Amino acid sequence: MKKLVTGIHHITAIAGNPQANIDFYTGILGLRLVKKTINFDAPDVYHFYFGDELGQPGTVFTTFPFTGARKGRKGVGELTYTAFSIGKDSLGFWRERLRKFGVVISDTLTRFGSELIRFEDHDGMGIELVATDEDQRPGWTYGQIPLEHSIRGFYGATLNLRAKELTEKLLVNHMNYSFIAQEGNRFRYGTEGKPGDIVDILVDSAVPHGVQSAGTVHHIAFRTENEASQLEIQQILLQHGYHVTEVKDRNYFKSIYFREPGGVLFEIATDEPGFAIDEDEARLGELIKLPDWAEPSREKIESSLTPVTLNPMNYV
């Protein structure tokens, strides 16, 4: 049977200063700014999309940067660490690069047989780089990072929860995920068990609840092929008692949203149509792109947004 959910589509976080946000993810981490638009639910706030060359599903980390936002707190009921995939022999490069730009990193950690490092961005966002030879995606670079060491896309994500049973039931029974392995109080799931679809549940009853603001994840989106498969998964979720929104048009994909039992906001997003529908592939992310309904207010919207520039080669 064809799977309705095939892995992670994107992960969206709340950030602070917009320029610092662009500098970190394009300059230091080397992701491509594939789209510069607005938060459709708060048009006076940017929505940045960072990913591979075309912003393929499974590579895109997105942010809502609120100038002056206080820092949030990672905790229970949130996605606390976003893991990106790098080459098997790239950890040394990234240790040196991150330290060069003043990023404090962990010692090398080992999880389910893979080595990784952990750190935070300027807002406190939890990030991991997992070294693997199982990811054949080409990655992206502006030129300041050798292509062989570039980030390939997501490896996976960690959900911090009080208990796993109800969330596990959702993932396994209704979202095409399967249990893979357990290490201590960490439980791993995947649609195929490959980079880009991994979800870990970390069960911790002692950690306080997270406080959502700058440096925390707003939601995680899972992939579905198209609008038909999205409607099918929507009906399955509704039939099993989940409070699912109507379909929302996000221009570059269609979305539905609901809270999983542990409190994390889940989204199911379509792979179609992608980020090249309103910009040439070679010029993705250069202009502020607005949905049709916002175009009549472009002058007002742009005047409310802090000007930003793209300067990845400042981080050679």
End-to-end CA distance of the chain: 47
pTM as predicted? 0.97
Residue that the structure tokens 């006076």 belong to: 44
pLDDT, residue 81, reads 98
Lookup: tokens for 233: 């998964």
pLDDT, residue 152, reads 98
**Residue 253 DSSP symbol:** E
* pLDDT grade for 206, boundaries at 50, 70 and 90: confident
The per-residue pLDDT for range 87-130, each reduced to its tens digit, is 999 999 999 999 999 999 999 999 999 999 999 999 999 999 99
Pairing between β-strand 8-15 and β-strand 60-65 as defined by DSSP bridges? parallel
Is the pLDDT score of 236 beyond 80?
yes
Q: What is the mean pLDDT of residues 49-59?
A: 98
pLDDT, residue 134, reads 96
Counts for the chain of helices (H) and strands (E), in that order: 5, 16
Lookup: tokens for 42: 């708060």
3-state helix, strand, coil in the chain (%, to 5): 20, 40, 40
The per-residue pLDDT for range 5-49, each reduced to its tens digit, is 999 999 999 999 999 999 999 999 999 999 999 999 999 999 999
The per-residue pLDDT for range 136-185, each reduced to its tens digit, is 999 999 999 999 999 999 999 999 999 999 999 999 999 999 999 999 99
Handedness of CA 185, 116, 266, 69 (dihedral sign): positive
**Residue 306 DSSP symbol:** P
Position with higher pLDDT, 207 vs 50: 50
The per-residue pLDDT for range 186-201, each reduced to its tens digit, is 999 999 999 999 999 9
Is the pLDDT score of 205 beyond 90?
no
pLDDT, residue 222, reads 98
Residue that the structure tokens 């060359």 belong to: 53
Length in residues, the chain: 316
- Alpha helices of the chain — where are they, by DSSP H? 18-22, 91-100, 165-169, 227-239, 298-304
What is the strand order of the sheet 186-190 is part of? 109-111, 114-120, 126-132, 78-87, 153-161, 198-203, 186-190, 178-183
pLDDT, residue 173, reads 97
Are residues 157 and 126 in contact, defined by beta-carbon separation less than 8 angstroms?
Answer: no
pLDDT, residue 2, reads 87
* pLDDT grade for 70, boundaries at 50, 70 and 90: very high
Is the pLDDT score of 1 beyond 80?
no
Q: What is the mean pLDDT of residues 292-312?
A: 96
pLDDT, residue 11, reads 98
φ, ψ dihedrals at 248, nearest 5°: -115, 135
Max CA pair span of the chain: 54
How far apart CA 74 and CA 56 sit, in angstroms, is: 27
Are residues 267 and 39 in contact, defined by beta-carbon separation less than 8 angstroms?
Answer: no
The per-residue pLDDT for range 245-266, each reduced to its tens digit, is 999 999 999 999 999 999 999 9
